[in-house]
């Protein structure tokens, strides 16, 4: 992708996702993800209806009339985006690949965070951490994240969610809002998930294609594993093969759901032919 084409794509995504974050998600993001606590702001004269527990007795005694302490939310937060860029993300039968949808969702969340003056960081991973962009503020930083999501070519096609979580635990010492975006076609990540979910506000967003849920009945076809590159001929006419595939897929999805919920983390499922906007908005509202 040349520079001109890349900038054009970045601008197109910015226009679409910033409109969403400005008009829809900004307020929901703010109300869903609270600041780290309340910090002292000022003192002012007591007004009818104020909580008597907030009276500052030292100032009250000095001026011989009641004054109260005013606190405000310590708002600054850090949003960490963890994006799966393994080979399975380059799949899609609904007009775009899973990775393209992940990019749009990540951009929408980034602009929502930017609107609230929060920092945004990025981890791109396969079976290793491919790229880490430390959290920063500002539009130029968000645009850099979008450029990397569009242009980055992974060194590996395989997936390790556990390695990605382990890296996050090493670089993020303070609590952050963490969105892990993947198709979660992986296992053996419970231990590192538990550690991350205990410290951070974690949500898993599973992106998938409807043809991944059930194998279509289209005869004898070659199927390639995007992560291993191996091809096998599969008889999709066989009811037992289709049933075994559907069961394996269902088990994988249930494992994702159970592990995240068991450890107090949120989950969201978005199919390529559905609106991720509605899914994300409903998720924010359910948490607000």
**pLDDT averaged over consecutive 10-residue blocks of the chain (288 residues)?**
72 78 70 61 80 87 87 72 84 68 90 88 95 94 92 90 96 92 91 96 92 76 69 79 84 93 95 87 82
Please tell me whether residues 203 and 163 are part of one structural domain: yes
Please tell me whether residues 153 and 56 are part of one structural domain: no
pLDDT of residue 189: 94
pLDDT of residue 193: 97
CA distance 203 to 53: 36
Please tell me whether residues 46 and 148 are part of one structural domain: no
Q: What is the pTM of this model?
A: 0.77
Q: Are 177 and 76 in contact (CB under 8 A)?
A: no
CA distance 2 to 151: 10
CATH number at residue 107: 3.40.50.410
CA distance 16 to 19: 5
pLDDT of residue 12: 79
* Host H or E run for residue 79: strand 78-84
pLDDT of residue 275: 86
pLDDT of residue 246: 81
Domain that holds residue 155: 3-30+79-287
Please tell me whether residues 118 and 142 are part of one structural domain: yes
pLDDT of residue 2: 64
Please tell me whether residues 146 and 159 are part of one structural domain: yes
């Amino acid at each position: 992708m040349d520079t001109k084409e890349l900038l054009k794509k970045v601008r197109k995504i910015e226009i679409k996702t910033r409109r969403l974050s400005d008009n829809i998600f900004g307020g929901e993001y703010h109300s869903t993800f609270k600041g780290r606590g309340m910090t002292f702001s000022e003192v002012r004269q007591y007004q009818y209806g104020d909580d008597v527990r907030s009276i500052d007795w030292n100032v009250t005694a000095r001026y011989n009339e009641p004054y109260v302490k005013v606190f405000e939310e310590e708002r600054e937060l850090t949003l960490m985006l963890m994006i799966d860029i393994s080979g399975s993300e380059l799949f899609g039968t609904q007009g775009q690949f899973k990775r393209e949808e992940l990019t749009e969702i990540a951009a929408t969340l980034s602009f929502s965070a930017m609107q609230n003056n929060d920092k945004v960081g990025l981890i791109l991973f396969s079976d290793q951490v491919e790229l880490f962009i430390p959290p920063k503020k500002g539009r130029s930083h968000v645009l850099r994240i979008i450029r990397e999501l569009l242009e980055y070519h992974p060194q590996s096609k395989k997936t390790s969610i556990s390695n990605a979580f382990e890296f996050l635990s090493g670089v993020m010492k303070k609590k952050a809002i963490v969105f892990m975006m993947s198709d979660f076609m992986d296992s053996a990540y419970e231990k590192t998930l538990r550690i991350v979910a205990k410290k951070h506000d974690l949500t898993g967003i599973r992106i998938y294609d409807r043809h991944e849920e059930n194998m279509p009945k289209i005869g004898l076809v070659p199927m390639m594993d995007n992560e291993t590159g191996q091809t096998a001929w599969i008889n999709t006419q066989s009811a037992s093969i289709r049933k075994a595939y559907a069961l394996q897929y269902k088990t994988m999805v249930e494992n994702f759901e159970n592990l995240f919920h068991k450890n107090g983390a949120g989950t969201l499922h978005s199919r390529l032919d559905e609106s991720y906007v509605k899914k994300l908005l409903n998720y924010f509202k359910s948490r607000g």
